[in-house]
Amino acid sequence: MTDSNDEQNSKSSSDSHPLTPHMKITGVRINYYHICHTKLWLFSHNITLEHEHENVNIGKQLHEERYSKNKKDVTIDNTISIDFVKQHNGFMELHEIKKTKKMEDAHLRQMIYYLYYLKKRGVEARGVMNYPLLNQTKEVELTPDEEKNIEDDINEIEKIVTGRMPHPKRMRICPKCAYFEFCFCGEEDEE
């Protein structure tokens, strides 16, 4: 089973995240959980439509052009895939590159999961969200409350993925999603 952003997902129990005996929780799954439960379910069942999607390709191009000097696409345990990592004032700094802030909550949750994942392995780090088209950055820290929220997210993701496919709910973001035609095939676009 292959996840996007080079996050590999293996069903073998030896590769499972220690907190989730049934499945590996990746950063992409955390992100999709905060965007759309149907998208999370489809992606987790190997229905991946984003490889050729225009918005995904634009993001990859931004990543390559703007941050060419940094070590890119750092993958840890085939579970988290960080856009790039730097050392800053004695701390490991994880950087994620995003085109816009439209999905900022989902992006922040993904970064918080990366920090949580590393902390569980004894690595303290900080996160930085990079919005190159906006010339902005945002620092992200893992707090005790955020740790609890991530653990709740992990439990909910397991419930969604192991259950029946959630019925698609039309949202403002749907027409720009790679899964739009899959979810709303035969319906007229209301926008």
Strand partners, 35: none
* Residues in contact with 23: Cβ distance below 8 Å, sequence separation at least 6, in sequence order: 9, 11, 16, 17, 44, 158, 161, 162
Query: How much is the pLDDT for 40?
Result: 96
Q: Reduced to 3 states, what is the DSSP secondary structure of residue 181?
A: helix
Query: How much is the pLDDT for 185?
Result: 83
**Residue 128 or 62, more confident:** 128
- The band of 21, judged by pLDDT with boundaries at 50, 70 and 90, is low
Say if residues 20 and 155 touch (Cβ distance below 8 Å): no
Lowest mean pLDDT segment, chosen from 51-55, 144-148, 179-183: 51-55
For the segment 141-157, the average pLDDT, to the nearest whole number, is 97
Query: How much is the pLDDT for 17?
Result: 42
On the question of pLDDT at 171 being above 60, the answer is yes
Q: What gap in Å lies between CA 11 and CA 17, rounded to an integer?
A: 10
On the question of pLDDT at 108 being above 70, the answer is yes
Domain positions in the chain are 13-165
On the question of pLDDT at 113 being above 50, the answer is yes
In 11-124 the beta strands, taken as DSSP E runs, fall at: 72-76, 80-88, 91-97
Say if residues 50 and 178 touch (Cβ distance below 8 Å): yes
Full-model pTM = 0.77
Q: What gap in Å lies between CA 84 and CA 73, rounded to an integer?
A: 6
Of 167, 168, 161, 180, nearest to 50 by C-alpha is: 180
- The band of 96, judged by pLDDT with boundaries at 50, 70 and 90, is very high
For the segment 47-67, the average pLDDT, to the nearest whole number, is 59
What's the chain's average pLDDT? 82
| Side-chain-facing half-sphere of 93: CA atoms under 13 Å | 14
Q: Which two tokens stand for residue 92?
A: 């490991």
**Residue 17 or 76, more confident:** 76
What class is the 13-165 domain?
A: alpha beta
Per-residue exposure over 82-95, b if at least 16 CB sit within 10 Å of its own CB, e if not: bbbbeeeeeebbbb
On the question of pLDDT at 97 being above 80, the answer is yes
On the question of pLDDT at 12 being above 60, the answer is no
For the segment 111-138, the average pLDDT, to the nearest whole number, is 95
